[in-house]
Structure 1
Amino acid sequence: MSALSDELKAFNRNRLPEMAKLKYEAMTENAFRFFRGTCHLFYQRLSGVKGFPRSPLTWICGDLHLENFGSYKGNNKLVYFDLNDFDEAVLAPAIWEVIRLVTSIFIAFDALDIDQGQAQSIASLFVNTYAATLLTGKAVSIDPRTSKGILNEFLKKAEKSTYREVLEKRTENKGSKVVLSLKHERHFKLKKALKSQLEEHITQWIRKSNDGPYNYKVKDAVFRLAGTGSIGVKRYLILLKSTNVKEKYLIVDMKQSFPSSLEPYLKAGQPNWPNQAERIIAVQKRMQNVYPSLLSTTEFRGEDYVIQELQPVKDTLEFKMIKDRYRDIYQVVDDMAVLTSSAQLRSGGMNGSAITDELKEFASRVGAWRQPVLDYALNYAAEVKADYKEFVKEFGDKVYDNQYHMSNTVEVD
């Protein structure tokens, strides 16, 4: 057994053992999927690099890659495109966010068989646009009114999405009742006792929380599988039905919160958050221009969770669909760079994060740190490919099999 498998097993030991196999299987898909599932390895290695260009402290989402941008409906009912995953969010060097995204470009493009010359150009584009946006000192947002090209088409399509589409995908009729469908490949049946406790908990959340939806009652609940890095985290979908409007339903996502995987490698002091869920939504509200509907936290069975509405418009732009359209890729990555710097500007000056003038000064020195970022990202992409090859071999040799039954606690049937 290799040091790599020891490291991966150690990191995933507090995830649901019943789901560990599914996470490891997902990570065998390609090197990019492996990269998404090993965020902790990235920062473990990056934090040990000596002499890397310094950068001011900012709020970062921590796990920034090409598929952690997406569409969603804000609490003002408008559709936006923005960073959309804050599980790893912390106060850290601004350059860390840039390096992870640029690394994801090299790995994802290679997995999609996109010419590496194009990858180099797109990576340079991201760094240059990121710095140029910081220099303006002005955070911007992207919605159907301000977007261009392929992203405009993507957001206008998202605008037209309806809740009926979500219900058609996620629910089924069981006699006279509407329930969450267990035919959906990412839904799993909950044990009776857990389901009962969960439904009662959400009933109380609706009654008592200022963030909960009014005039709804709980109708059903399932375990949900989603993402890559978060497979194995406790995550539930709860179906709610309006008590005022006939046949009106709402689906709520409830996701367990863990400490950020960056935490062991941070030198900057962090705020004293009440819990990990509060950390996640606090940073999300700082970095996004408008945050999603029903975004809140709760404690269930002594564990912290983030709650938000499952939306019809929440989606990521799949690069495999546009891999032969260089101009579209150029525009999308350019927009991602604008959003990355905008999130840092928007959250500047909070709990020790750099103010606008410090970020502008950092951006003005882009000539000093652009090439080190590109070089490190390219080299780390090669490390990921080597790690992925070793991981796939060991997975095939069943090295990870003995982790599947670490616990007697079974969350799903």
Structure 2
Amino acid sequence: MPTDRRSVAEFPSLGERAGLLERKRALKMARSAHAYVRGATARFYDWLGAVDAGLVPSAPPVWICGDCHLGNLGPLADAAGKVRIRIRDLDQTVLGNPAHDVIRLGLSLSTAARGSDLPGVTTAHMLEEMVHGYCDALLGHDESLSEARAGRAVRAVLRQATHRRWEHLAQERLERVEPSIPLGKRFWPLSDEERRAIAALVSSEAAQALVGALHGRGRHHAVTVLDAAYWMKGCSSLGTLRYAVLLRVGGHGGSGKAKASYCLIDIKEAVASVAPAAPGAPAEPDHAARVVSGARALSPCLGDRMLPARLLGRPVVMRELMPQDLKLEIDQLTREEAVGAARFLAAVVGHSHARQMAPADRRAWADELKLHHGGGLDAPSWLWTTVVELVAHHERGYLDHCRDFALARAG
């Protein structure tokens, strides 16, 4: 029987979702040390605070990703259709210390190298290249963002994203090209309350204007909800509101004779960030507004297709998913790929930070990064020390998590 014809009674109710989603999250984090790093953002900041409060330098406050690991960078398309690697997930964004993004990326790259059985000396060179790439971007060296230097693994993802169209997105996310969402392992049916709330949100003037603009149509073209479902997706977001909404833009009910187009909307609850904000940083009115503000500062091509809103009394971010939006899912790295990816991805992050800084601040922060070299390498000693300490914390945390998960399953 096709999954979209299954009885609604076979799926968890609204009240049953939280426990099931938490178990799914625990399973995902138990799959590898790298997956554990992705899902343990709160513990990252707890451990970072315990390493040495005076070790990490204070850089000029800017909007930071807050959760700058490999999976939160990837290809994004801008309004002109140009695809570039950018920061693609801003749930944890805050006005904070850019050093936190550098350290988190260093930890993520280090665990990816460990998962690829690369020697420790490769990690040392990766951190060295990270600093080179980040500083080059801070100082406005355009060649730092050259995709030719990104490494073969990153370039392969970028090429794949460039050639993707709606059919690829629908087949990947919905497992079909037809305009419907199949219920099953990833998509669950909505309650009547959820369905009404989503319909009201999509029909709002702000949502209609956003979707119409993204599809090159005026607000006189109708935006119609074809289907919607709860989306069991991600790791850190499990347990919060998450919905997939399939829309038709234009066509029936719209003006003109243009053929209807389809789009997939991701509605995601915005929760409090665990990343520490800079002292005295102004607070956004709610978490959805914070996420969109951070996105517009760090990755404008993404922020421009996001909308802060309210759904069922909670702050949510509404975002259209584009076919070119992909994660950097790199299972295995060679030494050359690891070093190239480290330099290039750090440059991407540095570029996102630099666009928010005055020239004098960029120069001062770059000079700080070049100080305190340790052991003959160009990576500053504070970066090496924090990453090494955090790798040790996460290795232990990961093994403890796996043990707890195994005991829970056995019970």
- How many angstroms apart in 2 are the aligned matches of 1:20 and 1:400? 17
- How many angstroms apart in 2 are the aligned matches of 1:27 and 1:400? 17
Distance 1:141 1:242, change over 3 A: farther
How far residue 280 of structure 1 moved from its aligned partner, in angstroms, is 0.9
- How many angstroms apart in 2 are the aligned matches of 1:173 and 1:228? 24
Matches within 5 A, 1:35-54: 35-48=37-50, 49-54=52-57
- How many angstroms apart in 2 are the aligned matches of 1:147 and 1:260? 30
- How many angstroms apart in 2 are the aligned matches of 1:46 and 1:36? 15
Q: Normalising to structure 1: TM-score of the pair?
A: 0.81
Distance 1:144 1:115, change over 3 A: closer
Give secondary structure in 2 for the equivalent of 1:307: strand
- How many angstroms apart in 1 are the aligned matches of 2:409 and 2:275? 26
Spell out, residue by residue over 1:299-339, the C-alpha distance to the aligned partner (whole angstroms, 9 max, x if none).
Answer: 1121111111112111123221x42x332332222110111
How far residue 147 of structure 1 moved from its aligned partner, in angstroms, is 6.8
Matches within 5 A, 1:3-402: 16-48=18-50, 49-56=52-59, 57-134=61-138, 136-137=139-140, 149-171=152-174, 178-183=179-184, 185-205=185-205, 210-213=209-212, 214=219, 215=221, 216-244=223-251, 245-246=258-259, 248-263=261-276, 266=277, 268-288=279-299, 290-291=301-302, 294-320=305-331, 322-323=332-333, 325-348=334-357, 355-365=361-371, 367=373, 370-398=380-408
- How many angstroms apart in 1 are the aligned matches of 2:397 and 2:68? 20
- How many angstroms apart in 2 are the aligned matches of 1:173 and 1:118? 42
Spell out, residue by residue over 1:161-195, the C-alpha distance to the aligned partner (whole angstroms, 9 max, x if none).
Answer: 11012223344789xx8311124x32222223322
Which stretch shifts more, 293-302 or 378-387?
A: 293-302
Aligned pairs, number: 375
- How many angstroms apart in 1 are the aligned matches of 2:129 and 2:149? 20
**Residues 82 and 141 of structure 1 are in contact (CA less than 8 Å); yes or no, is this contact kept in structure 2?**
no
**AA at the equivalent of 1:212:** V
How far residue 107 of structure 1 moved from its aligned partner, in angstroms, is 1.8
**AA at the equivalent of 2:391:** A
Distance 1:92 1:261, change over 3 A: same
**AA at the equivalent of 1:211:** L
Match of 2:7 in 1: none
**AA at the equivalent of 1:382:** A
**Residues 58 and 354 of structure 1 are in contact (CA less than 8 Å); yes or no, is this contact kept in structure 2?**
no
**Residues 250 and 260 of structure 2 are in contact (CA less than 8 Å); yes or no, is this contact kept in structure 1?**
no
Match of 1:405 in 2: none
Distance 1:154 1:362, change over 3 A: same
- How many angstroms apart in 2 are the aligned matches of 1:340 and 1:270? 21
Q: Normalising to structure 2: TM-score of the pair?
A: 0.82
Give secondary structure in 2 for the equivalent of 1:290: helix
Distance 1:330 1:361, change over 3 A: closer
- How many angstroms apart in 1 are the aligned matches of 2:188 and 2:390? 36
Match of 2:12 in 1: none
**Residues 143 and 155 of structure 1 are in contact (CA less than 8 Å); yes or no, is this contact kept in structure 2?**
no
Match of 1:4 in 2: none
How far residue 378 of structure 1 moved from its aligned partner, in angstroms, is 1.3
